[in-house]
């Protein structure tokens, strides 16, 4: 979206030709158009969520978090324990495409290792 703010100034200098961004009126006023920066909408962000279950070993969850989210062992233990106690936790916030990749990687890896671990994503408000 582009908006234009028009300011009027009375020129004191010599006569000049109108250019694209101004217009010299009959009375000699000059309208100077200043444009605000056109803004492009920011792409939405998505939270990647890890869900608790009763069967996936804690150490496997910690390993998954380190492997796919590039966090330290300590951070991974913290997130795993939050999920264990609260049922769910946000692991990270990403663009849609990156979030989709993380979810697929975690779900595929859990299935290959025969654990019921669930990972999902939701759009940020």
Residues at the contact surface with ligand TYC, assessed by CB under 6 A: 50-54, 56-58, 61, 80, 83-84, 117
In the complex, least distance from residue 60 CB atom to ligand TYC, rounded to whole angstroms: 8
| Residue 119: CB minimum distance to ligand TYC, A | 8
Query: Which residue, 46 or 76, has its beta carbon nearer to ligand TYC?
Result: 76
Q: How far is the CB of 102 from ligand TYC (least distance, A)?
A: 14
CA 17 to each of CA 22, 24, 38: distance values in angstroms, whole numbers, following the listed order: 9, 8, 27
User: CA 45, 62, 83 angle in degrees (round to 5)?
Assistant: 60
Could you give the angle at the alpha carbon of 116 between the alpha carbons of 115 and 122, nearest 5°? 125
**Dihedral sign from CA coordinates of 11, 14, 18, 20:** negative
Q: What are phi and psi of 120, to 5 degrees?
A: -145, 180
Residue 80 vs 121, nearer CB to ligand TYC: 80
CB nearest ligand TYC: which residue? 83
**Closer by beta carbon to ligand TYC, 50 or else 99:** 50
């Amino acid at each position: 979206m582009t908006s234009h703010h028009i300011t009027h100034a009375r020129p004191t200098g010599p006569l000049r030709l109108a250019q694209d961004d101004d217009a010299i009126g009959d009375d000699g006023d000059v309208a100077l158009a200043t444009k605000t920066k056109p803004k492009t909408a920011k792409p939405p962000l998505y939270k990647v969520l890890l869900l608790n279950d009763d069967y996936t070993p804690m150490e496997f969850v910690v390993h998954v978090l380190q492997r796919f989210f590039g966090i330290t062992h300590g951070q991974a233990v913290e997130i795993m324990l939050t999920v264990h106690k609260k049922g769910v936790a946000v692991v990270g916030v990403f663009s849609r495409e990156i979030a989709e990749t993380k979810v697929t990687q975690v779900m595929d890896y859990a299935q290959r290792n025969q654990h019921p671990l669930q990972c999902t994503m939701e759009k940020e408000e």
